[in-house]
Amino acid sequence: MDEALEDFNTKRALEAYDLLFNARDYDMASQYWSPGFVQRAPQFPKSRHELIDFVRQLPETLKFDCQLVVAEDDYVALYGKYTGLGAKRKNRVCSHLLRLKDGVIVEQWSVTADE
């Protein structure tokens, strides 16, 4: 295992999610997702552009709270919770498996469920 690579990828993944979901800095966040980004989960937007547009439409109160991170080589798994989805929506727990290349997210698999 390359601990330096895993630490770097973990830091980049957490920064990406914080910028997109918490800070809502779409321009900065877009730098963390590859232009060729592919989402492998069928229920989520497939490209970087679609993902950012999707998040723009979510309530400003939405936040992502990462509770566990596991990394190995180019892969980082984030387990956490989305809160602030609105009065009529439950919080969502999630697991995201990310593949990074040179510190940029190139591929993602996601699973979410009501808390």
Q: How confident is the model at residue 10 (pLDDT cuts 50, 70, 90)?
A: very high
State pLDDT tens for residues 67-113.
999 999 999 999 999 999 988 889 999 999 999 999 999 999 999 99
Tokens at residue 76, please? 């980082």
The structure tokens 């180019």 sit at 74
| pLDDT score recorded for residue 42 | 87
Domain architecture of the chain: domains with CATH = 3-114 (3.10.450.50)
Distance CA 44, CA 46 (A): 6
Distance CA 7, CA 81 (A): 22
Torsion angle of the four alpha carbons 39, 43, 48, 51, in this order, in degrees rounded to the nearest 10: -150
What does the mean pLDDT of the chain come to? 95
